[in-house]
Structure 1
Amino acid sequence: MSGNSSNIVLVGPMGSGKTSVGRRLACSLKRDFFDSDFEIVARTGVAIEHIFDVEGEQGFRKRETQMLADLCEIKNIIIATGGGIVINLKNREMLKHDNFVVYLSSTIEQLLKRTINSKSRPLLEQSSNREKIIRDLVSKRESLYQEVADVVIDTTDKKLYVIINEIKKVVSA
C-alpha cells in the first residue's frame, strides 16, 4: 500500500459488509471511519429513500460524487461507499487516485440473506423480486468493482474478524 496516509476504501454490492467491516477495520487500525451514505444523510438531514423520491437516482448519485470528493480530501481514513459508487466514471477515477480500494465480494445468496429484512435500500424497494435486482446490479457492476479494486476479498460465510485480518495482511504488505 502506498504510504500510511492513503485511505482504505471499501466497495461492493449492498449487503457485502462494507459498513460492518469498515467500522471494525477502523477500530483495529486506529483510523476514523466514514460511511458515505450515512454522511449524505447527516449532511442533508433526510433519508436516502427520500432523496431518491424527490431527486431520483440521478440526484442521489450527484450527492454521492460530491461526498466521495469531500471524503477523499481527508487522509488516513476508512471509507465505506454505497454499492453504486462505481457506476460513475468520475467516482472510479477518484477511487483509484491515492486510495487503497478493497472490493468486498459475496455470492448472490449471501447478499440476499444479508439484505432480506432491509427497509432502507431504495433500489430493492422497487420490486418484489429482490434476487433479480441483486443479480442484475452485481452483473452490471462486477467489472467496475474489479476495475477500481487493489484487492478483492470474498466475504461469503466469513466471520468479521477473518475479513478484517485478510485486509490488514494486504494493507501492511
Structure 2
Amino acid sequence: MSARCAGLPLTKTLVLIGLMGAGKTSIGKRLAARLGLPFVDADNEIERAAGCTIQEIFDRFGEAGFRDGERRVIARLLEQPVHVLSTGGGAFMDAETRGLIRERGLSLWLRADLDLLVHRTARRDHRPLLRQGDPREVLQRLMDARYPVYAEADLVVDSDDSPPEVTTERVLETLRQHLAVPAAHP
C-alpha cells in the first residue's frame, strides 16, 4: 500500500522535524503505518552507519563531527523511495541538510511547548545535549535558537499531551489540506 493508496498523493519523503520529545518517532511510526510507507529514524541510521551510539559519536567527534555524519546519512535517505523520516532535533538547523530536505522532501515540524518537552525528555537519559546543564534551561535555549528555523518547514502541527493517535490524525489532516485532498467520509 502506498501513500497514494491511503488517499494522499505523497510524492516526496515526509520529513519530521522538531525538538527532542516532540514525538517525531512515535508519530512518525503511526503515520508510516497509516500511509502504508516505510518508517526510517535518521538517528538509528546514523548509529548503524557509524557503528556506535550517538552519545559515542558526540564523545569522540563532538557535535560538528556528528552533524557531518548526520548530513551525509540524511542525504542518502532522501535518495530512497518515498518514506516517513524522523530526524534528530538539530538536523534541520544545518543549512545544507535543510536545503536537501526542501528539495527532496516535505518537511513537517512537530511543535511542542517547553513543559511537554521537559516532561517527555525526563523519561530517558540518552540525549547528549541535555547533559550540558539543567534540562529545562537547555531546552529553552534550543527552542529560542531552533524554533525560528523550524518555522521554515513546509507544514506545522502542534504536538501536545493528546494521545499519539490524535496528533497523527492532525498530521494527516494537515497533509490532506496541503495536498488538496478531500477527507474521506464513511
Structure 1: which 4+ aligned runs deviate by more than 6 Å?
A: none
Instruction: Give the structure 2 partner of residue 10 of structure 1.
Output: 16
Q: Which residues in structure 2 correspond to 1:63-142 (within 5 Å)?
A: 63-127=69-133, 129-142=134-147
Where is the helix percentage greater, Structure 1 or Structure 2? Answer: 1
| Greater RCO structure (CA 8 Å; 6+ sep) | 1
- Give the 3 Å change call, closer, same or farther, for CA 29–3 of structure 1 in structure 2: closer
Query: One-letter code of the match for 1:135?
Result: Q
State the Cα distance separating 1:95 from its structure 2 match.
Answer: 1.3
* CA distance in 1: counterparts of 2:169 and 2:93, whole angstroms: 29
Instruction: Give the structure 2 partner of residue 156 of structure 1.
Output: 160
Structure 2, unpaired ranges of 5+: 1-7, 181-186
Q: Which moved more, 1:6-15 or 1:95-104?
A: 95-104
The structure that has the greater radius of gyration is 2
* CA distance in 1: counterparts of 2:51 and 2:105, whole angstroms: 28
TM-score using structure 1 length:
0.94
Q: Are 1:5 and 1:75, in contact at CA under 8 Å, matched by a contact in 2? A: no
Between the aligned residues of both structures, percent identity stands at 34
Query: One-letter code of the match for 1:33?
Result: F
Q: Are 2:18 and 2:24, in contact at CA under 8 Å, matched by a contact in 1? A: yes
- Give the 3 Å change call, closer, same or farther, for CA 99–3 of structure 1 in structure 2: farther
Q: Describe the SS at the equivalent of 1:97.
A: helix
* CA distance in 1: counterparts of 2:160 and 2:33, whole angstroms: 22
State the Cα distance separating 1:6 from its structure 2 match.
Answer: 1.0
The alignment yields a C-alpha RMSD, in angstroms, of 1.3
Name which of 4, 19, 39 aligns with 1:33.
39
Structure 1, unpaired ranges of 5+: none
State the Cα distance separating 1:4 from its structure 2 match.
Answer: 2.5
Count of matched residue pairs: 170
- Give the 3 Å change call, closer, same or farther, for CA 26–152 of structure 1 in structure 2: same
Q: Are 2:112 and 2:160, in contact at CA under 8 Å, matched by a contact in 1? A: yes
TM-score using structure 2 length:
0.88
